[in-house]
Amino acid sequence: MNQRRKIFNDPVYGFVSVPHGLLLTLIDHPYFQRLRRIRQLGLSSYVYPGALHTRFHHALGALHLMQETINVLRSKGVEITDQESEGVCVAILLHDIGHGPFSHALEHALVDLHHEALSLMFMKALNKELNGQLDLAIAIFTNQYPKKFLYQLVSGQLDMDRMDYLNRDSFFTGVSEGVIGYDRIIIMLDVHNGELVVEEKGMYSIEKFLTARRLMYWQVYLHKTGVAAEQMLIHLLARARELALEGKELDAPRDLARFLYRRPDEHWPEEKLLKHYARLDDTDLTACVKYWCDAEDPLLSYLSTGLLDRRLFRLQWLNEPLDEQSRTGILDQIGAMLPHLTPDKLLYEGRESIQAYNEAKAPIRILFKNGEVKNLTECSDVQLFTQPVTKYFVCYPKISIH
Amino acid sequence: MNQRRKIFNDPVYGFVSVPHGLLLTLIDHPYFQRLRRIRQLGLSSYVYPGALHTRFHHALGALHLMQETINVLRSKGVEITDQESEGVCVAILLHDIGHGPFSHALEHALVDLHHEALSLMFMKALNKELNGQLDLAIAIFTNQYPKKFLYQLVSGQLDMDRMDYLNRDSFFTGVSEGVIGYDRIIIMLDVHNGELVVEEKGMYSIEKFLTARRLMYWQVYLHKTGVAAEQMLIHLLARARELALEGKELDAPRDLARFLYRRPDEHWPEEKLLKHYARLDDTDLTACVKYWCDAEDPLLSYLSTGLLDRRLFRLQWLNEPLDEQSRTGILDQIGAMLPHLTPDKLLYEGRESIQAYNEAKAPIRILFKNGEVKNLTECSDVQLFTQPVTKYFVCYPKISIH
Amino acid sequence: MNQRRKIFNDPVYGFVSVPHGLLLTLIDHPYFQRLRRIRQLGLSSYVYPGALHTRFHHALGALHLMQETINVLRSKGVEITDQESEGVCVAILLHDIGHGPFSHALEHALVDLHHEALSLMFMKALNKELNGQLDLAIAIFTNQYPKKFLYQLVSGQLDMDRMDYLNRDSFFTGVSEGVIGYDRIIIMLDVHNGELVVEEKGMYSIEKFLTARRLMYWQVYLHKTGVAAEQMLIHLLARARELALEGKELDAPRDLARFLYRRPDEHWPEEKLLKHYARLDDTDLTACVKYWCDAEDPLLSYLSTGLLDRRLFRLQWLNEPLDEQSRTGILDQIGAMLPHLTPDKLLYEGRESIQAYNEAKAPIRILFKNGEVKNLTECSDVQLFTQPVTKYFVCYPKISIH
Amino acid sequence: MNQRRKIFNDPVYGFVSVPHGLLLTLIDHPYFQRLRRIRQLGLSSYVYPGALHTRFHHALGALHLMQETINVLRSKGVEITDQESEGVCVAILLHDIGHGPFSHALEHALVDLHHEALSLMFMKALNKELNGQLDLAIAIFTNQYPKKFLYQLVSGQLDMDRMDYLNRDSFFTGVSEGVIGYDRIIIMLDVHNGELVVEEKGMYSIEKFLTARRLMYWQVYLHKTGVAAEQMLIHLLARARELALEGKELDAPRDLARFLYRRPDEHWPEEKLLKHYARLDDTDLTACVKYWCDAEDPLLSYLSTGLLDRRLFRLQWLNEPLDEQSRTGILDQIGAMLPHLTPDKLLYEGRESIQAYNEAKAPIRILFKNGEVKNLTECSDVQLFTQPVTKYFVCYPKISIH
């Protein structure tokens, strides 16, 4: 076996090496190269200036961990054929290929499809182009393949997606609290009755993994400044669409304009959707923000300038929705400060639920030395963040006192 | 002294903390925020996918090292007043503020000014806006200030610019060979007769620093794939400008279009230049590349598509310029492969000289325990890369065999 | 101020720099140099081969963090005089100077004094030798000094001792789950009404710190193999003392023999105790283990050989004490396997309680932006390990089946 | 293949995993466990307090790199059977098993054998005990095995020994200048005509490796304070032997005393030598130093106390041997300061030659894309430290001025 490999430098793992063949063909495809232009953490670089890493790099990293996991499992006697190995590697490589510019939230502003559905659409298109070479990967990705643990490695509580992104996001933000012992977790993985399990000795690492995940939510993914920026972008885009539907002319890159002026719906043939969608990336939105600083519409211009020059809104997390009185108070202040704008177009509310570990949906299973297997919550005596926590936010321009 | 500080996360140093006041005012200014959209390593992320870090982060990092250096020097009895400390910090913070999109090479395609001249132009504009608060910083930046070592910390063989970029580029590319012992070097700095010197004990670290610098040149800054991408971008832009001057209409962001359509002989007043230039960043060029994939001009569209989808030219470093015979051979092959394009528009030649340590220009001075000071080359018995090394490149489409 | 500093290399922090003067005098003292021969984690290197770091290095590290903390607090306007700064630095440097060889558990086998009392004894002796220069340090160490936060930095929930040892132990064991964001915690420290508080923004880091502390307990400090080795050493020493009191002659280094043959009691004058104790270190016990491999007493020789060649006992953690029936079963097996030894000399039982955060004793106080201060448990919605958890262990030779 | 593996934590590589079977049997053997008590860098921890890592950990690390290298070579089509893989792994694991306490220099003070000869002796003894299972490993270790590259991986310019120790020593000392891109070097290794070669793309990493090696020599291995401590220990031991041969009684651990009172010579049967030698480790010498602080002989006691309390001699590196006049001057000063000792017993001279890359002995071979292979010096344009550099040292007590 003389299998040449291409090497990608990765500050997180040192190297990611990819065998020549199907995997490299996919990486070289323009669909995948597009991920070089989509950041993993959207606007979080406003808070963590190092967090500029892309979904391209994340996908390579997840592939790397998958390759390591396959080695570990095989060394423990788990049978994984070369075809299955390639299939599960393709599945993890492409798991995010349908991701749109910036965050999930923004996705919905552009298309009425979940990014996983879009990823599947991309995979099918690639499969067609490559004469069915992705059949097995698609079966795994959609949980149609008999060996369930392969699916769990792609999409589960301990999948290679999470393992890489926690690790990578922690690395590039510099938030050391998010560091997980991914290598120890991987080394503790095994398969029992066709399902992924963790050896007993790995339990502390799993506890730590869940703690780190929860922490990354509040410290990074839902950091108030990052969410504020995202809210501004969402409302900026919503405003642009409003204007577009009113027939106003707006400067915008052609690729984005298509989605601005007419939202894809069931009448768009899949092929057309894919063709246009496959050209969208973060730079289209940044281009818009830059164009719209000079927009005639004062709201659009206000939001754009704020976003471009990082004059971001204030955001607060609350345990309950904003009460009426506070809302009125804030609106009054906004009105006083920005008399040329409509206050309620500048006050955004919403909520987020997080649950670091959803045992009901997909339990993490612990394998004991005596062969017994138990759900994690049955064995651990610490808080595992299995209950969803909901918080409410309110977001509006910083009130400056003159 | 109750000096509040703003903290920036930095995966390289953990934290960078900046005191409220002038420095933070500058960081918040749109001119400085623009640096968030200019990558430190231009197109190198095609080779090193993690190398997405920006000049914004680099400037903060250099500021951090400057703050550390000031502490070290003061603890050794070097007198640095609070005003001087702020001045030299401002100077390093803004040393690259005039940097244009992508690389230096590209700069020249847009404006006929060196980026240091542009940085000075920005500083002067900011100084005006801030009523002279930058006077001292400008004096240091232009080497007009009597305490010469302050200038050397901003622009010298061991300045904080180099110290940070070697470190940072090594970190984000994952090229561990570029790691330098910046903390040890800083701790060994001192001032002697008004000039920056390095204590004898730091000599190995300096040798290592120069070795690492040379290595980063060949492994990162002049990596053949990165230079190939840059060549494509330069020629793509040159072609666009040609078409623009011929009066062809090209899609382009407004900010960039101004520079594209501007006649070479057009004299813009400084104010106008600054206003427009201050809006340019990497995203404008990416937007163009995306637009021009569909350009009518086949050359422009060919180069754009190649760059977008990462089908990059092949580049070779040679010890001598390409000979006539080889050139003809390559042109013939290009002609055969791409009959619809003009071959000599697809063959790029050039050269680069590197010199890790230019002692003639500004020697590194070593301070011995006995008080003696010598130039580095007099004390070290290793190769210090003081001789410029020139290499020639040739760059053209990958010849595929059908 | 031209304050020369001595620099110590530290893989954890890069450098620790210590000003010439009292601190360096103390470091150079034989009492402090002795700590070079006492490992921070005792026998844990049987489990984590990298965990060979000493109390010497830990004390330097804690000093480093103290210096950083003082800078942070001063920059927030907390008044700390130069004398107080030196005092609190001396106190943290010497906080463990009375530590005996290996673990606390072993300490008691040699002397009837807690290591903190011994540390104080050392400090007083040094203070005498240095003409009262340690007065302030001793006042802080014994919580007699009015500025209570200084004591809290030496001995509290967030003292520099814990901060360094969690960090350092995590580093040298390679247990990445123990990584704490010490730099972020330090940057969030402040003083309010004379007490140490943590700014609201640092709360996640504190939660993470407590989680990491708990994890390090189970994964490192109470790792079953490490505790097993420690139990063997304790019982080996107890057996040696028994034999010594019976008048048997045992090879042992002179320094240790003094403690073996006659346990220090109230009748030993403090000076004598200190003189002899100050010569004890880990190597004395290793020397004994090596000597006693050849001891006539079969138990002593059995335990020594096992420890030297790393044939360690088996240890189990139980939620309840071992029941009678299991005990009998184990003793029978030991008897069958090792007929020449007394089984109940080979079965060790004990218990450990851990409590990552003892709020009752010393609460961590959170400072909110509005000036309010609350105990950590009032603000956090996660488990903070405030309840002591007790586990029982049983430890005996590995039963091999022939 | 269900191959269980034991996992060792390693802060350098994260984990080292070792398959159950021969390798683990060897690791568990008392001969190998002895390496836990022999430090890799001897007395260097007097300079770099973190440098306490042992030859045990180094051997595991080298094994880890060997396993990675085998995977890389196999993936490039190099045939390595499972037996050969185990053989070369055993050879690297045991390459230092004959190492004596502290440094090579000290070795000679105890036995008249080079540590490689001793390692071979140990291997043969183990081979006998294990019924010939080490035959292949011994053939590789002694370069008797036809596939020469296997020997080169154990003992060559780029062997796994060097690769690990540079890396590990750099890690534990904290000397970041010694960092090498070991993972990149390994990934670039290949075999050509039965010999180890490096792919062209790895050339910069090799240059960096040689630079780092040279730097580690001067900054760590030959650091003046570390060498001074070693000189003290060598002369202390020499003095003890003198006294021993004069019939003086000296306290010393039994294991060491055997070597002190009678130097092993040709008349010792190998078996006896091995038996006693296999009990020696660093702690025996530390025990001596502690005993001899109280020795009657003033020189022995002076040296011992100095070493124990870290009052180390001064050492200078000179380009030429010390001239007569300086020698006399120093001796006079010593005499004045220490009238009760013989000055010329306190002045030590010697020399060291280093050569980072001995191409004449074993060239590093570079494999070019076109299949050509050249010696490194033919391809590289930088200084490769192929010339031995000799320096002379002089070492004596610090002259204090009263």
From residue A276, alpha-carbon distances to A197, A271, B182 in Å are: 41, 9, 47
| Chain D nearest-CA residue for C284 | D287
Confidence bin at C270 (pLDDT 50/70/90):
confident
Q: Do A14 and D183 touch (CB under 8 A)?
A: yes
pLDDT digits (tens, 9 = 90+) for B299-327: 999 999 999 999 999 999 999 999 999 99
Neighbour subunits, A (≥3 Cβ pairs < 8 A):
B, C, D
The whole-chain average pLDDT of chain B stands at: 93
pLDDT at C183 over 60: yes
From residue A138, give the alpha-carbon distance in Å to each of A152, B293, C16.
Answer: 14, 31, 54
pLDDT bin (cut points 50, 70, 90) of residue D220 is very high
Average model confidence (pLDDT) across chain D: 92
**pLDDT one-digit tens code per residue, D39-81:** 999 999 999 999 999 999 999 999 999 999 999 999 899 999 9
Chain C closest-CA separation from residue D112 CA (Å): 24
For residue A262, the distance in angstroms to the closest alpha carbon of chain B comes to 20
* pLDDT at A212 (0 to 100): 87
For residues D232 and D237, give the distance between their C-alpha atoms in angstroms, rounded to a whole number: 8
Is the CB of C222 inside 8 Å of chain A's CB atoms?
no
Read off the pLDDT of each residue in C142-154 and give the average, rounded to a whole number. 97
pLDDT of residue D265: 62
Look up tokens 């007083």; give the residue: C124
Residue D320 has pLDDT above 90, yes or no: yes
**Domains of chain B, start order:** 5-222+353-392 (1.10.3210.10), 225-313 (1.20.1250.30)
- Least CB–CB distance from A187: residue in D7, D76, D77: D7
Average pLDDT over residues C93-98: 96
Q: Is the pLDDT of residue A203 over 60?
A: yes
Q: Of D321 and A106, which is predicted with more confidence? A: D321
Give residue C1's pLDDT: 45
Report residue B296's pLDDT band, with 50, 70 and 90 as the boundaries: very high
What is the tens place of the pLDDT at every residue in A81-136?
999 999 999 999 999 999 999 877 677 777 777 888 899 999 999 999 999 999 99
pLDDT at position A176 is: 82
D123 interfaces chain B, CB cutoff of 8 Å: no
Q: Which residues of C touch D287 (CB under 8 A)?
A: 253, 283-284, 287
Residues from chain C that touch D64, judged by Cβ atoms under 8 A, are none
pLDDT tens column, B111-147: 877 888 899 999 999 999 999 999 999 999 999 999 9
Task: Find out whether C46 and C231 touch, Cβ atoms under 8 Å.
Answer: no
User: Which of B255, B249, B250, B315 lies closest to B289 in space, CA to CA?
Assistant: B250
Per-residue confidence band for A265, with pLDDT thresholds at 50, 70 and 90: low
- Of chain D, the percentage scoring pLDDT greater than 70 comes to 97
Per the prediction, chain C carries an average pLDDT of 92
Which of B6, B7, B71, B188 best probes binding to C when mutated, by most C CB atoms within 10 angstroms?
A: B7
- pLDDT grade for A1, boundaries at 50, 70 and 90: very low
Pull the structure tokens for residue D322: 């010390």
- Nearest chain D residue to C11 by CA distance is D174
Per-residue pLDDT reduced to its tens digit, C203-230: 888 988 988 898 899 899 999 999 999 9
How far, in Å, are B244, B247, B262, C351 from residue B241 at the CA level?
A: 5, 10, 9, 80
> What confidence score (pLDDT) does residue C263 get?
63
C382: pLDDT strictly greater than 70: yes
Amino acid identity for residue A152 in this structure: Q
Pair B47, A56: CB distance under 8 Å: no
Chain C residues touching A204 at Cβ < 8 A? 177, 215, 218-219
> Does any CB of chain C come closer than 8 Å to the CB of residue B77?
yes
Residue A7 CA to residue A14 CA, distance in Å, equals 10
Nearest Cα of chain B lies from the Cα of C83 at a distance, in angstroms, of 18
From the list B208, B218, B381, which residue is nearest D215 (CB)?
Answer: B208
Taking CA atoms, B123 is separated from B90, B112, B120, C245, D33, in Å, by: 10, 18, 5, 83, 65
Predicted local confidence at residue D1, as pLDDT: 45
What is the predicted pLDDT for the residue at B1? 45
Per-residue pLDDT tens over the stretch D112-131: 778 888 999 999 999 999 99
- Which of B12, B47, B179, B201 is the mutation pick for testing D, counting most D CBs within 10 A? B179
Q: Is C75 close to B5, i.e. CB distance below 8 A? A: yes
D398 touches chain C (CB under 8 A): no
Q: Which residues of D touch C52 (CB under 8 A)?
A: 52-54
Mean pLDDT value across residues C154-161: 95
The per-residue pLDDT of chain A, averaged, comes to 92
Among the ranges A274-283, C355-364, D98-107, which has the highest mean pLDDT value? Answer: A274-283
Between residues D57 and B214, the one the model is more confident about: D57
Looking at the complex, does the CB of residue B373 fall below 8 Å from at least one CB of chain D?
no
CA dihedral of B230, B236, B241, B242, whole degrees rounded to 10: 130
Contact B219, B175 (CB under 8 A): yes
pLDDT digits (tens, 9 = 90+) for B224-282: 999 999 999 999 999 999 999 999 999 999 889 999 998 777 888 888 999 999 999 99
Once rounded to an integer, what is the mean pLDDT over residues D315-334? 96
Among D15, D184, D187, select the one facing A187 at the smallest CB separation: D15
pLDDT of residue B193 exceeding 90, the answer is: yes
Are B147 and B194 in contact, with CB atoms under 8 Å apart? yes
Which candidate from B208, B382, B383 shows the least CB-CB separation from D177?
A: B208
pLDDT in tens, B30-71: 999 999 999 999 999 999 999 999 999 999 999 999 999 999
Per-residue pLDDT of A143-169, as tens digits, reads 999 999 999 999 999 999 999 999 999
pLDDT at A402 over 60: no
Per-residue pLDDT reduced to its tens digit, D231-242: 999 999 999 999
What's the pLDDT at D350? 96
Provide, rounded to the nearest whole percent, the portion of chain C with pLDDT above 90.
Answer: 74
pLDDT at C117: 87
Q: Is residue B181 scored above 90 in pLDDT?
A: no
Q: Band of the pLDDT at A266, cuts 50, 70, 90?
A: low
Stretch among A113-122, A275-284, D193-202 having the lowest mean pLDDT: A113-122
- Is residue B37 within 8 angstroms of chain A, CB to CB? yes
Which tokens in the block code for residue A275? 């063709």
- Confidence tier at C265 by pLDDT (50, 70, 90): low
pLDDT in tens, D274-287: 998 999 999 999 99
Q: Write out chain D in H/E/C secondary structure.
A: CECCEEEEEECCCEEEEEECCHHHHHHHCHHHHHHHHCECCHHHHHCCCCCCCEHHHHHHHHHHHHHHHHHHHHHECCCCCHHHHHHHHHHHHCCCCCCCCCCHHHHHHHCCCCHHHHHHHHHHHHHHHCCCCCHHHHHHHCCCCCCHHHHHHHCCCCCHHHHHHHHHHHHHHCCHHHCCCHHHHHHHEEEECCEEEEEHHHHHHHHHHHHHHHHHHHHHHCCHHHHHHHHHHHHHHHHHHHHHHCCCCCCCCHHHHHHHHCCCCCCCCHHHHHHHHCCCCHHHHHHHHHHHCCCCCHHHHHHHHHHHCCCCCEEEEECCCCCHHHHHHHHHHHHHHCCCCCHHHCCEEEEEEECCCCCCCCCCEEECCCCCEEEHHHHCCCCCCCCCEEEEEEEECCCCCC
The ipTM assigned to this model is: 0.94
Query: What tokens does C361 get?
Result: 């004793």
Give the pLDDT confidence score for residue B385 in this predicted structure: 79
Instruction: Say yes or no for a CB contact (<8 Å) between B253 and A37.
Output: no
CB atoms within 10 A of CB A10: 22
